[in-house]
Amino acid sequence: MTSMSPTARALAALGHDARLSIFRLLVQAGEDGLRVSDIVEHLGLAPSTLAHHLSTLVDAGLVLQDKNGREVFNRVDYPAMHRVVAFLTSECCIGVPAQFTVTAA
């Protein structure tokens, strides 16, 4: 079985509505990030559900976690986010050669 590229893993992680909402909220929060309790308050997710989704985002390399005492702060790994965006836009609008096939009449 082949392993997923980091970009594919990141896009797969973002392919769930809850994780996409968490990630967008963290992008809005900026470099300081948010505590788990802040994310729960903003999105209304159950703490156990949030923990599962945050773990997926961390494993995908999109979110970094820092512990400060008993609190866990979550923030976007902006260089990783920019790599995914650059991958998606790197060949924007360069054109694709037409592939013609001949069909029998």
Phi, psi (rounded to 5 degrees) for 88 = -70, -30
| Structure confidence by residue, pLDDT tens digits, 8-44 | 999 999 999 999 999 999 999 999 999 999 999 999 9
Nearest to 35 by CA among 68, 76, 73: 73
Strands of the sheet containing 71-76, edge to edge, are: 34-35, 71-76, 63-68
In whole angstroms, give the CA distance from residue 94 to residue 16: 30
Instruction: State pTM to two decimals.
Output: 0.85
Categorize the per-residue pLDDT at 95 as very low, low, confident or very high, splitting at 50, 70 and 90: confident
In whole angstroms, give the CA distance from residue 25 to residue 28: 5
Nearest to 76 by CA among 25, 9, 5: 25
